[in-house]
Chains A and B, each alone.
Chain A
Amino acid sequence: MSAVAAVPAPMTDERDLAIPFDRLVRTELRKTYDTRASRWLLIAIAAITPIVIGVLVVALAPKELTFNKLVDFSSTPEKLLLPALGILSVTSEWSQRTGLVTFTLVPRRRRVLLAKCVAVLALGIAATAVMFAACAVGNVLGATLRAGNGSWSFGLSGFGGITLVMLIGLMEGTAFGMALLVTPAAVVVFYVLPNVWSAVFSTVPGLKSAEAWVDLSQATGNFYNDKMTGTGMLQLLVAFAIWVAVPGVIGVWRVGRTEVKSS
């Protein structure tokens, strides 16, 4: 038995150990705050709700100062800002051409994409938590300073629903970033296309009935005030497929094939 023990187990050279996934996620997280531009975006994402809440506490009529109302109002700007994080996380690799190094150090592009998704979704959850906390503080302040209504009725499913709305928007942004790969194009298309789309569907008579199925913001809107039904869930799935799954699949394909340009 000592003869067996004496033979050293074949050691893998430390240099030949695979890169663990969590290391990629931590690296991608770091990229979201290690440049001036990315840091400002994160600061804006974290600060927008407290600022909006501050304004609402002063401006809203006291009877309107409820937790539910505050979430309703303050989630709108957050929903607008958060997807930019997903867009830039992908497009900056092409626009700034850092992908040349990223994909050389990790020649598995889908793995890098997955790490980016995990990193931005984690930040999205954190941003949503900050939003709820700011709303809670705002509700207390409203009740104390302005004799506001102060109602807490919200429903546990509301937290999950709103968080899901935020994360779906973030995924939509990331998918658009992957599919378009160029920052200005992705930003413009992401913010303009859904609005044009819903304008078309809400004004063209024959399309009106389809609107609830193809408009993602309308489909996710049912999460507010806890109005999600079985049909609503189906509509959400269809809209999700159109706005997240399809660009996401195109994106994975494009990221895998598109060359990062050399100068």
Chain B
Amino acid sequence: MNFPYLAALALFSVGLYCILVKRDLFKIIYGICLMGYSINLLLISLGYVWGGTVPIISGSSTAVPVDPLLQAMVITAIVIEFAAVALMVSVAIRLFEQYRSTDVKKIRRLRG
């Protein structure tokens, strides 16, 4: 029963397909977002334990919490991904203002 890993892998493949096949800058940004989601999902499903509770210890409960380390790393990853998407989008806006197009084939030409 490894369906979360398979699903994360499928999501990664869709993102990779989107990056490779589409020529629009925004489609490429969306593909990078999808790949980021898949990595986050994979890390969280690695840390999950059947019947585990949230990693918030209150009182003296004996239940097993799920892995807090991976969750902390994924929080970092989500926020950094947001910052990276904002930067990529601003580069795309700048390229559109220069070339009036977001097609990567058309903005190949260098211009000052």
Verify that A and B bind, or say they do not: no
Give chain B's interface residues, CB within 8 Å of chain A. none
Residues on A facing B (Cβ under 8 Å)? none
